[in-house]
């Protein structure tokens, strides 16, 4: 129980700082860019949320057995993947809830900023209709993207987890270790 409480407090502050940083960056870029560029930033936020949702679902649904076998054969990529799989609840929470939810919330705020930009152009539609259309498109794109991503994550969870293990291996100097092994 103490570990859960510690993680909850830690993830609160991690989320607080990441969300503040992402919000400031998104607001800065959206307020200083053209309408099409702002829509591009919004699309990137949605894509990042979907990508991290894929990773979170892959870790939550993946079996450790193949990674134990690969790690026993000195596969450092599998070793890092297995370390993360042993903490799949934390990895899944971070990917799905921290990054995914931050992207969802910030994309909503970005949608509001884009709505204001769009209203400056005085579209021939009522303001409320423009606002509802933008919000609905953001929600639909996010939900559809995550539905598509969950299908991929469940079917290819081992490949996704190994890919993340490869990235972790690279950032932990694994390339040098692999060169020594060969």
Q: Where are the alpha helices (DSSP H) in 86-126?
A: 88-92, 100-120
Q: Where are the domains of the chain?
A: 2-181
Question: What number is the average pLDDT over the span 120-128?
Answer: 78
Please, which residues have CB within 8 angstroms of residue 81's CB and are 6 or more apart in sequence?
67, 161, 162, 164, 165, 166, 168
Mean pLDDT over 103-116 rounds to: 89
More reliable by pLDDT, 141 or 131: 141
Let me know if 34 is exposed, middle or buried by CB neighbors in 10 A (0-12, 13-18, 19+): exposed
């Amino acid at each position: 129980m103490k570990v859960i409480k510690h993680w909850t407090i830690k993830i609160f502050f991690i989320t607080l700082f990441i969300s503040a940083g992402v919000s400031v960056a998104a607001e800065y870029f959206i307020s200083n860019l053209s309408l099409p560029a702002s829509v591009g930033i919004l699309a990137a936020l949605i894509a990042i949320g979907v990508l991290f949702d894929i990773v979170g679902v892959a870790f939550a649904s993946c079996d450790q057995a193949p990674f134990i076998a690969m790690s026993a054969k000195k596969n450092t990529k599998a070793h890092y993947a297995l370390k993360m799989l042993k903490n799949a609840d934390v990895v899944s929470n971070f990917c799905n809830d921290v990054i995914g939810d931050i992207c969802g919330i910030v994309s909503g705020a970005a949608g509001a900023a884009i709505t204001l930009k769009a209203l400056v152009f005085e579209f021939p539609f009522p303001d409320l209709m423009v606002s509802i259309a933008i919000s609905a498109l953001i929600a639909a794109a996010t939900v559809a993207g995550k539905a598509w991503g969950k299908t991929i994550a469940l079917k290819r969870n081992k490949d996704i987890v190994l890919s993340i293990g490869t990235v972790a291996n690279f950032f932990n100097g694994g390339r040098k270790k692999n060169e020594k092994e060969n």
